[in-house]
Amino acid sequence: MNTLRTTVLLAGMTALFMGVGFLIGGQGGMIIALVVAAGMNVFAYWNSDRMVLSMQGAREISPQSAPELYAMTQRLADNAGLPMPRLYVIDTEQPNAFATGRNPQNSAVAVTRGLLRHLDSREVAAVVAHELAHIKNRDTLTMTVTATLAGAISMLAQFGLFFGGRNNDSPVGAIGTIAMVILAPIAAMLVQMAVSRTREYEADRDGAAICGDPMALASALQKISATGRRTVNMAAERAPAMAHMYISNPLSGARMDNLFATHPNVENRVAALTEIARMGGGGGGQFARSRASNTRPVASRPGQSWRTPGTRPRDEGPSGPWG
């Protein structure tokens, strides 16, 4: 089903890309757009994860710089039957995370500095488990490719604003081109939404099973939602087509109707997780017991998060992987 969904989605994005090309340059523009779209589909399959990580300002971290985060992720990956993903950190105070990669063997999990600062160890583990569930379900290929192509469609529409109306081959003229600039990105967004938001519910459920703590994920989602409304993620704001990849909508001004929502309502997700916990689901606390027996205490000063290295004055520059 995931393969079929990815194929249908790629076909829809390609058709939209060709349609924009036709509106800009007629038949010639459509043929050029087809060639470009075919190349982009191949490129996106192999390289879109690196593009997404780069555009979000993610920096890879090593086991030496974040030993506890690595050990925690390794145990969660073992619980999920997955290879260890690469780990990245995004330098923003907004608590959030996403996963990317074309398959479990070439996957990555990116967490923000704010996630590590504002959430406790149980909640961070639950968020990472949610992202590992996306990797296990192979959602990451669909999410990453759609983000790349949706961004390309928006850029092509902007290109048409400058050149489409002047091109005699354009069947819509200047007014139609302006309308296309407005409508094409919206259409791309709607195609993205064609990938059902139930994948978030599925990742919540499977993530709860991986970490064994549904209520930790529910608490994490509440904190992420509350803090995210007050914090701007500049990398996400510059690339809004990638918002659907995060565990929670990172766009501070994008509280839109359900038709355009990138994620299910947080209250509904929390209610579903609460029901899982009430029914005794979530893997029976497997990771919670593993964490209790394998994680040693971390000395920290008051107000310092569980795994953030001691900080220096801001004018001395970054300290460690969290900044």
Residues 6+ apart with CB under 8 A from 244: 143, 146, 147, 192, 193, 195, 262, 263
SS3 (DSSP) at 106: strand
How many angstroms separate the CA atoms of 298 and 69, rounded? 12
Residues 6+ apart with CB under 8 A from 290: 75, 79
- Please, are residues 286 and 208 in contact by the beta-carbon 8 Å criterion? no
How many angstroms separate the CA atoms of 189 and 191, rounded? 5
Cα angle 218-223-225, degrees, rounded to a multiple of 5: 95
Q: Give pairs for 223-226: CB < 8 Å, separation 24+.
A: 223/95, 223/118, 223/119, 223/123, 224/95, 224/96, 224/115, 224/119, 224/127, 224/248, 225/266
The pair of structure tokens assigned to 178 is 């302006």
- Please, are residues 221 and 249 in contact by the beta-carbon 8 Å criterion? no
SS (H, E, C) 282-308: CHHHHHHHHHHHHCCCCCCCCCCCCCC
Residues 6+ apart with CB under 8 A from 254: 240, 243, 262
Catalytic residue among 60, 131, 200, 316: 131
Catalytic residue check, 131: yes
Q: Active-site positions?
A: 131
